[in-house]
Amino acid sequence: MNEPAPEVSIVIPAYNEESYLPQYLPTVVAALRYWEQATGGRGEIIVVDNASTDATAAMGSDHGARVVSEPLRGIGRARNTGAAAARGDHLVFIDADVDFPAEGIDAAMRHLTSGSCVGGTIPALYEPTKIGARLLVAAWALYRRYFGGAQGVTQFCTREAFFTLGGYRSELYMSEDVDFFARLIRLGRRRQAPVVYLTHLRVRPSLRRFEQWSSWRMIWRANPITARLFLTSQRFWRPWYDTTVR
């Protein structure tokens, strides 16, 4: 007898995350269980193993996720692979190194199932200690304030909206999440179902990039201007992908 399809699919792209999944994936599992117990709904977690060379796939399976493989590196491509494998009518994209709030899935699903929005985001809270890193975080916050958008740390949408938009642009090596959310915003406006920002919640990404790279390197590589200039340059972003995961 076939199991009923899940209502929500959580997609987690992962490259060499064996050290981080045991710490952060349980917070996503707990949030899904919170929603399931509160509503009687059913969800699934999909870890997309993006050509890892460590035990990422095993760590995902050990924590109850369904693991699918994407052999070509790129976070947008990995998210698209996860969405293609997903069975739920609602999609939630969460990075692998995120401390996720227990109420996060419940809050996202309340909005998605109401039909009042095409999707939304839970804002990320970064608290780096380096002054340069703080300036970079502030620059991106200012950029998003004036130009819209949201990071892929956590984004959610209906399955129908995702495939209407064609998913994430896999040719982008940076800001593919900002690009996707900008298109989601426009779709929501056309349909009079605007995106939502769940500002009463926060997701807390790890600070590994800020800790591993010097402030000047972070500012040069990851500021809004550089990101826009080199969006499709695989060569420019190779250090970003080959050290710590994107």
> According to the model, what pLDDT value does residue 245 have?
42
Instruction: Return the minimum-mean-pLDDT range out of 28-42, 43-57, 210-224.
Output: 210-224
Give the homologous superfamily in CATH for domain 8-128+150-206: Spore Coat Polysaccharide Biosynthesis Protein SpsA; Chain A (3.90.550.10)
Q: How far apart are CA 196 and CA 6, in angstroms?
A: 23
> According to the model, what pLDDT value does residue 246 have?
38
Q: What is the pLDDT of residues 156-182, one digit of tens each?
A: 999 999 999 999 998 887 678 889 999
- Distances in Å between the Cα of 7 and the Cα atoms of 42, 88, 166 are 6, 5, 21
- Distances in Å between the Cα of 185 and the Cα atoms of 40, 154, 227 are 30, 15, 20
- Mean predicted confidence (pLDDT) in 97-113: 97
- 73 within 8 A of 51, measured Cβ to Cβ: yes
Task: Say what the pTM is.
Answer: 0.85
What is the SS3 assignment for 10?
A: strand
What residue spans define the domains of the chain?
Answer: 8-128+150-206
Examine the pLDDT at 223 and tell me if it is beyond 70: no
Q: How far apart are CA 12 and CA 94, in angstroms?
A: 5
